[in-house]
Structure 1
Amino acid sequence: MKTKIVERALMELQWQICSETNLALFFPKPMTLDKQQKCWALADSIQQLPEVIEVVIGMNTLSVFIVSLPWSELKDFKDRLSTLLDDIPSKTINGKHIEIPVHYGGQYGPDLKAMANELGLSVAAVVDLHTEATYTVYFIGFQPGFPYLGGLSESLYFPRHAIPRTQVPAGSVGIGGEQTGVYPFESPGGWQLLGKTDTSLFDLNKSSPTLLNAGDTLKFTAIDIYE
């Protein structure tokens, strides 16, 4: 049954022409690692096409930027991309694994207690669910070094704030919908803040400035928990 569901979902895939220089592909929900691995594989193939300037990978999505084409050639290019959807391979990235220690709750995670109440869980149970999972970095976006992570327990799915904060501290660990992640820099943001880490996710003084890259895995560990 699961195989049939996956096959049906892949049949729904269709490239969308967004402009004369951009096409986009969105995998149907739910978000999964298998679909992300297909995005990685497709990006490698598409990047080789002569018309392509850049392929940007998102969360189970792809955005392809190309040289400007007249409408007839653009439709032909879309058809060429569509042929790649007939049998999409998967790409496994054997990245590194790290642990990120977190101060949960209190001043570090101002949304933790309220979120736990809404979910009908204790604060400790939320932290347990958040720290027991092994997450995979699907892609880096929003800020330099900001990891979008797959693997969040469905029990912790929670909507973003309707009105985002104007300032989210650097190192904040949060949940937004079906995803969890870490803010490398202070910025506005609407994610539910569970805690904060002192781990630096971006450092220009290093040969590889981003701590995490697509395909890496990580676990969060609790330093302490404040109610």
Structure 2
Amino acid sequence: MRTEILAAIGDPLRFEALRLLLADDGLAQAALAELLGVTPSRLGNHLAALRAAGLVDPVRVGRSTRYTLRQPDAVRALVGAIDTLAGGPAALPEAGRSPYARARTCYDHLAGEVGVRLLDRLVAEGALVPGPEPESVLQPGETLDASLTRLGVPYPQVGRRKLAVGCLDATAGHPHLGGALGSEVLRSFLRRGLLLPGPAPRSLIEHPNLAPLLG
């Protein structure tokens, strides 16, 4: 097993995947692939090697597969030891959510924890009525107009799209708001400076004025 572990972490991509999971345990494969700049299919082979070495475990959530560290403390110590041998130690990621998991775009709508909070708030207010599944169509509720006024978001032009759908978030494991309404919310927040483009592709930075709108 020692040989398998050393072989698994000897690849730079796998080593960086472990670093990302140290910072944000439970990332989906698609999220890991984007952060590492590779395709999900290419990353899949590397994750299989980490699984075979007993370093990570897959967890199926809806249509996505998330990866968790089997022994986080042991992996942290291992990464730290390698950094020390390499002339470090380099700073290890702190526990907690990464900026990518906090807020980003998903197609043309808002994803990450911020997107999940937005949908949860609209459901709690009675603005949207969820369906039986995380990715079901959401029906407009009695308070939708009032909620959109509070958010400062105009009623979207739906066209052929659904007004609102749940889109299972790759990192949060819960649905965020998709559909025409999700697109309009993101467009409005960006236009008003409540969300700003982040340093990484698709990542977003929150303005402090956004927090009161999300509750």
TM exceeds 0.5? Answer: no
Bigger relative contact order (CA 8 A; separation at least 6): 1
Calculate the TM-score normalised by the size of structure 2: 0.30
More strand by share: 1
More helix by share: 2
